[in-house]
Chain A
Amino acid sequence: MEVMPIQRSEPPPDELAPILAAAGDGDEDAWRTLVERFWRRVYALVRSRCGRSDLAEEITQSVFVTCATKLRDGGYQERGRFESWLFLVAMNRLRDELRRERRQAAPSDPTAFSGVSAGRSGEQDGENAEQLEALRIAVAQLPEADREIIELRHHAQMSFKLIAQTLGEPIGTLLARHHRALKKLRSLMENEQDPAGCPGVGSETDT
């Protein structure tokens, strides 16, 4: 697969600070700038975690409404950590929602919501799309902590520094966990290519 290095989004705090201040004062343009900068990343994280587009839309919308309310009421104090705070709100909302879903006994299916690729496969060659789909299923089978860092890193496009701020863990721990998660993913992908070797990727067990 072709290597495509991606720049992590981490706007300098001094660039974001005046936008946040203006948004907190009710400046709609500033607010829309914030939304435009972050909403797709929040959505991608939430969508990957919850596996449903409708729920992902609701949660994403709710996260930003919470942020707007906090900005308006002074519940967020600008210390150059808006991005990690935003994703912390998203993670907390996700956990609440997933806990509620589990109580309602609706097991998720890691093979579900393949609609993510619907309409997009034409933009990619078939083999690549197939590999990405297998990778998505493998990610869904990772243990919770491993899956969390993979999705924060690659779906939310967060730097390790920001992930460390969000999760409150040392960056070295996160780097090691990311490394371990990649090895597990590679193993899952290899097993998927050789199903006789080990069941797993093709199964519908929830993780």
Chain B
Amino acid sequence: MNDHTRHNPELPDDLRSLEASLDALGQRARSSAPGGLGDRIADEGARALTGVRPGELRLSGNKPEHHHRAGWTQHWRLAASVTLLIVAVVAAIALNPTAPVTGVVAIEGGQSDTASFDDDWIDFETEYVADTGWDDDAFDALSSELDELELSLGSAWTLDENLNLNEGESL
């Protein structure tokens, strides 16, 4: 046992009595331990050593009548995990719509029910709307201008998808 195991060698003499008092305080804390606790610890540990699964031991392991709680805890954790997964999926769907927003659908006159159109519309949104920060007002303004020119806002896609609309026909 070297010096480090007994006293802090850096301590001046005037702190050594304080160190000794701390030793006495520690001794008092060790002596205050409940008499039966050592046996309970040994018993619980012995059970763990001989095969009781760790999950069946509660923090207060001296109450074996409550072992079933650990099982229920696992069930609740599983249920919570499944719920979180469902919420995450629903949120992902909500945040990634496959159809144009309602206001735009109205402009398109209900033509959003084909997958190809939806894809094109999403591309359009991505390239021209999201990047430029356009909003519904901007669309309204553009729509009005196109109306004056007798063109439809959705004409390019409706013609491509062969939706029986002629170029220039209003939606």
Contacts and interface: CB of A to CB of B under 8 A. Distances in A.
Contact of B21 (A10, A35, A135, A159): A135
Taking residues whose C-beta sits less than 8 angstroms from the other chain, chain B's interface range is 35 or more
B46 interface: yes
Given A5-B6, A8-B6, A179 B26 contact: no
Interface string A6-31: 11101000000000000100101001
Contacts of A7: 1, 6
A175 B45 contact: no
Interface string B29-45: 11111100110111011
B50 interface: yes
Contacts of A68: 44-46, 48-49
B61 A65 contact: yes
Given A5-B6, A179-B11, A53 B29 contact: no
A48 interface: yes
A159 to B, nearest CB: 4
A61 B28 contact: no
B4 A60 contact: no
Nearest to A162: B5
Contacts of A39: 33, 37-38, 41-42
B27 interface: yes
Contact of A159 (B5, B49, B57): B5
Contact of A135 (B14, B22, B48): B22
Given A44-B30, A120-B32, A10 B5 contact: yes
A133 B61 CA distance: 31
A131 B4 contact: no
Interface in B55-92: 57, 59-62
Given A67-B45, A179-B8, A132 B28 contact: yes
B25 A136 contact: yes
A180 B44 CA distance: 40
Interface in A99-156: 115-117, 120, 128, 131-132, 135-136, 139, 150-151, 153-156
11 contacts: A26-B49, A32-B42, A35-B42, A39-B38, A40-B38, A43-B30, A153-B22, A157-B26, A175-B4, A175-B9, A179-B8
